[in-house]
């Protein structure tokens, strides 16, 4: 039996080595590459962790160390020494040392020196194992073993300096990315990453870095390589960071397999759309989101009428082409943020989230019905179908997602039983309301063709001169049975079914002709303001370019038209609004902000957006005589607008006192019944030519 070995040898190497290796262990994953055996042992000497050298020394698998006890490798004659050493080491923070003989695959008796100390958690023992031989021989053997392990390792080893440049890679690392070792050396880490990989790196740098983090690298010829990376800092004697050592495992094949399995479980193989499983997940998510935002969503259940008969006639292959085409047509009717899924066979569903009113849902449903009625042409053969669409609203129709689907399906079946080629609601009340809206929509289409719309004009008077150089165009509908209708009675329906775009285009062209006439007869600088719907504001720029072409045909300066928008338009996406206003200004059109003060606008909007006129809402003007606060607010708006180079128009001026107060406040223009009510073009021209409008009796 050998006597215990002193803590220090004659050169003091053992304690220094112990401290060095303990520091190495604290660096996390770096212990894997230490040139000595490193083990983390449980109280019963079960192997919890082992590094590359340790695993090679004992002949155990590093991935499954827990199958072995370190004590089982100690030669029996040394067990008493080992047990005493191990007991002391478990309670020692500074470290214990012992010499024992181990049974290893390479030798029946391998003399080693053990350095052990308690783990920082107090639940395990750190053990460093060195061969008991001459210092130089041990060092040479360790270096040779280290070199062999590094070059034959199944994991990539990547060393990066403090400037993130590559200083070392082993053959496996180069193989993972498809380069030679020479091609990787001295190249920066970022040279092997795309934007997504850099974003992943930024997230890890900014937060907690797990032991094994997934990273996306770009290999040779642009090949995407998914890996797990374990990193440890390389520190000098003073603790300064010299770089990073990374152990890299290629998981691309596993990642692709996992993604394939996930995709097959969540997407329809024919159309590429989400399947029922993903659809239900999305529906649950969107209903919760609607609850948080106190909003509502619509679920559309779509079935292709007579598809089974068509499929039997054409055959499955061409029937599949019809389904693919149908899915594309439905997708073209919805936003990219909406969820379109294929439930089964010829049945599809759509989740419309963040809907502001039912009219928008009906417009989309109507577009789907019309799109699916256009003949299909699989392989050149024409095939005719129609569609039945059921609509259910959350939360009015159902609070439970599964029940919402059931009710939308029931509404679809009702639409199908009614003859198909239509949409319907699950509740009679909503169905009747939808039919009423559809009736108005049909009347609106006829109104365009039969020219039932009329434009009346309200003068905008200069408060300094009393002259009329501007007017606001207001739309009326002379309905064949209901008489003359104001905008509030039909514009919302025109917006919900998209007809507002066609109506708005007609209004613009009529106004352009009228302003051209009044520039000849009243004032060469005459302007007419035209109200613009938020729905029109979202249209493509081609519409506005057609307006510019029309103005050029008339030889009319673009600034003759003033586009009036409400504050609500400014909140429909600032980037889009800025771009649209920029297009208006580039065309030469001017812009007025209508109903200022009634919404959520701030003074900053007047600087941020290209605005020429501010129109003070009539609710402020109506109380000017009695409310000091409203008077002060109007004065503040006028002063602020003038400092920004804007003109101010007061709406709803009905008394001489209001007019006088606005003149004193420096307001530029006013309109209201104190001057004149909206009137046809002929009456307007006569009134404007007479000079200062007469006050009503």
Residue 122 zone, left/alpha/beta (φ > 0; ψ -120 to 50; rest): left
Q: What's the predicted TM-score (pTM) here?
A: 0.46
Per the structure block, which two tokens stand in for 676? 């004149």
Per-residue pLDDT band for 31 (boundaries 50, 70, 90) equals: low
pLDDT tens digits, one per residue of 63-107: 778 889 999 999 999 999 999 999 999 988 788 999 999 988 877
pLDDT-derived band at 680 (thresholds 50, 70, 90) equals very high
pLDDT band at 259 (very low <50, low <70, confident <90, very high): confident
Q: What radius of gyration do the chain's Cα atoms show?
A: 40
Question: What's the pLDDT at 79?
Answer: 95
Which pLDDT belongs to residue 51? 85
pLDDT category of residue 209 using cuts at 50, 70 and 90: very low
Considering only residues 561 and 210, tell me which one the structure prediction assigns the higher pLDDT.
561
- pLDDT value of position 610: 74
Residue pLDDT, tens place only, 388-446:
999 998 888 888 999 999 989 988 988 888 778 888 887 766 666 666 666 777 788 88
253 pLDDT tier (thresholds 50, 70, 90): confident
| pLDDT of amino acid 9 | 42
Query: How does pLDDT run across 280-294, given as a tens digit for each residue?
Result: 999 999 988 887 766
Nearest to 509 by CA among 534, 470, 477, 546: 546
Tokens linked to 44: 């019963």
* Nearest residue to 127 via CA among 86, 99, 66, 94: 86
Maximum Cα interatomic distance, the chain, rounded to a whole number of Å: 128
In this prediction, residue 482 has a pLDDT band, given cuts at 50, 70 and 90, of confident
Hey, which bits of 345-421 come out as E strands? 347-355, 386-394
Least confident of 57-66, 331-340, 566-575: 566-575
Count other Cβ atoms within 10 Å, centred on residue 643: 9
With CA atoms as reference, report the closest residue to 326 among 354, 312, 306, 298. Answer: 306
Mean pLDDT confidence for 27-37 = 64
pLDDT digits (tens, 9 = 90+) for 120-148: 777 889 999 988 765 566 566 666 766 77
Report the 10 Å Cβ neighbour count for 183. 14
Q: Is the pLDDT of residue 172 over 70?
A: yes
Question: Residue 1: its pLDDT value, please?
Answer: 39
Does the pLDDT of residue 24 top 50, yes or no? no
Give CA angle at 464 (459, 469), nearest 5°.
35
In order of their start, the domains of the chain are 13-150 (3.30.450.20), 154-256 (3.30.450.20), 267-426 (3.30.70.270), 445-689 (3.20.20.450)
* Higher pLDDT among residues 470 and 119, named by residue: 470
Res. 600: pLDDT tops 70: no
Q: List residues bridging with 473 in a β-sheet.
A: 457, 530
CA distance 20 to 126: 13
The structure tokens 């990547």 sit at 158
Of 393, 373, 480, residue with least CA distance to 433 = 393
Query: Which is higher by pLDDT, 618 or 571?
Result: 618
pLDDT confidence bin for 28, thresholds 50/70/90: very low
Q: Quick one: how far is CA 151 from the chain centroid?
A: 44
Average pLDDT, the chain: 82
The reported pLDDT for the residue numbered 408 is 92
Most confident of 20-24, 382-386, 468-472, 604-608: 468-472
* Other Cβ atoms within 10 Å of 47 Cβ, number: 24
CA distances from 416 to 420, 629, 687 (A): 4, 59, 58
By residue count, the chain amounts to: 697
- Write down the pLDDT at residue 10: 37
Phi, psi torsion values for 71, nearest 5 degrees: -60, -30
Residues 616 and 600: their CA atoms lie apart, in Å, by: 14
CB neighbour class for 211 (10 Å; exposed up to 12, middle 13-18, buried from 19): exposed
| Phi and psi, residue 270, nearest 5° | -85, -50
H-only helix segments in 476-572: 491-496, 499-521, 534-537, 541-554
- Contact status, residue 422 vs residue 391, Cβ threshold 8 Å: no
């Amino acid at each position: 039996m050998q006597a215990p070995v002193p803590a220090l040898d004659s050169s003091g190497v053992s304690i220094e080595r112990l401290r060095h290796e303990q520091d190495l262990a604290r660096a996390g994953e770096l212990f894997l590459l230490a040139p000595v055996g490193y083990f983390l042992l449980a109280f019963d000497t079960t192997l919890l962790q082992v590094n590359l050298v340790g695993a090679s020394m004992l002949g155990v698998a590093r991935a499954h160390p827990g199958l072995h006890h370190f004590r089982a490798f100690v030669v029996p004659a040394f067990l008493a020494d080992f047990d005493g050493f191990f007991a002391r080491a478990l309670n020692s923070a500074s470290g214990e040392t012992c010499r024992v003989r181990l049974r290893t695959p390479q030798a029946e008796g391998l003399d080693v020196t053990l350095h052990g100390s308690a783990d920082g958690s107090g639940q395990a023992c750190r053990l460093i194992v060195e061969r008991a031989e001459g210092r130089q021989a041990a060092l040479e053997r360790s270096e040779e073993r280290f070199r062999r392990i590094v070059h034959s390792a199944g994991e990539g080893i990547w060393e990066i300096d403090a400037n993130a440049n590559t200083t070392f890679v082993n053959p496996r690392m180069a193989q993972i990315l498809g380069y030679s070792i020479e091609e990787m050396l001295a190249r920066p880490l970022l040279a092997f990453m795309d934007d997504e990989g850099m974003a992943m790196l930024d997230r890890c740098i900014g937060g907690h870095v797990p032991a094994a983090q997934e990273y996306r690298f770009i290999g040779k010829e642009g090949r995407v390589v998914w890996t797990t990376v374990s990193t440890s800092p390389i520190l000098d004697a003073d603790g300064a960071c010299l770089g990073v050592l990374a152990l890299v495992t290629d998981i691309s094949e596993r990642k692709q397999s996992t993604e394939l399995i996930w995709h097959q479980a969540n997407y329809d193989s024919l159309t590429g759309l989400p399947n029922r499983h993903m659809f239900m997940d999305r529906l649950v998510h969107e209903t919760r989101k609607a609850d948080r935002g106190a909003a509502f969503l619509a679920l559309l259940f779509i079935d292709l009428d007579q598809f089974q008969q068509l499929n039997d006639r054409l055959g499955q292959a061409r029937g599949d082409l019809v389904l693919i085409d149908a899915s594309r047509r439905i997708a073209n009717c919805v936003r990219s943020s909406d969820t379109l899924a294929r439930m089964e066979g010829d049945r599809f569903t759509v989740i419309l989230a963040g809907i502001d009113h039912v009219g928008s849902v009906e417009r989309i449903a109507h577009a789907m019905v019309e799109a699916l009625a256009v003949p299909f042409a699989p392989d050149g053969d024409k095939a005719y179908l129609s569609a039945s669409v059921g609509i259910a609203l959350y939360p009015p129709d159902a609070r439970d997602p599964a029940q919402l689907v059931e009710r939308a399906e029931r509404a679809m079946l009702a639409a199908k039983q009614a003859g198909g080629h239509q949409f319907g609601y699950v509740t009679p009340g909503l169905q009747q309301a939808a039919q009423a809206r559809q009736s108005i929509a049909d009347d609106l289409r006829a109104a365009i063709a039969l020219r039932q719309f009329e434009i009346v004009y309200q003068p905008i008077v200069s408060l300094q001169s009393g002259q009329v150089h501007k007017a606001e165009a207001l739309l009326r509908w002379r309905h064949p049975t209901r008489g003359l209708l104001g905008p509030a009675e039909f514009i919302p329906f025109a917006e919900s079914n998209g007809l507002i775009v066609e109506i708005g285009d007609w209004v613009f062209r009529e106004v352009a002709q009228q302003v051209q006439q009044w520039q000849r007869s009243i004032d060469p600088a005459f302007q007419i303001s035209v109200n613009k719907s938020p729905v029109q504001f979202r249209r493509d720029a081609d519409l506005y370019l057609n307006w510019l072409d029309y103005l050029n045909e008339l030889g009319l300066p673009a600034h003759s038209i003033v586009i009036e928008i409400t504050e609500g338009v400014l909140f429909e996406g600032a980037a889009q609004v800025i771009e649209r206003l920029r297009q208006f200004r580039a065309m030469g059109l001017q812009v007025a902000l209508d109903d200022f003060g009634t919404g959520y606008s701030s003074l900053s909007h007047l600087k941020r957006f290209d605005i020429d006129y501010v129109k003070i809402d009539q609710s402020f003007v109506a109380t000017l005589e009695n409310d000091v606060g409203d008077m002060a607010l109007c004065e503040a708006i006028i002063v602020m607008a003038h400092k920004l180079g804007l003109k101010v128009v007061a709406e709803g001026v009905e008394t001489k006192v209001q007019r006088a107060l606005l003149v004193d406040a420096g307001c530029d223009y006013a309109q209201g019944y104190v001057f004149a009510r909206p009137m046809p073009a002929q009456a307007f021209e006569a009134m404007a030519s007479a000079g200062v409008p007469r006050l009503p009796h």
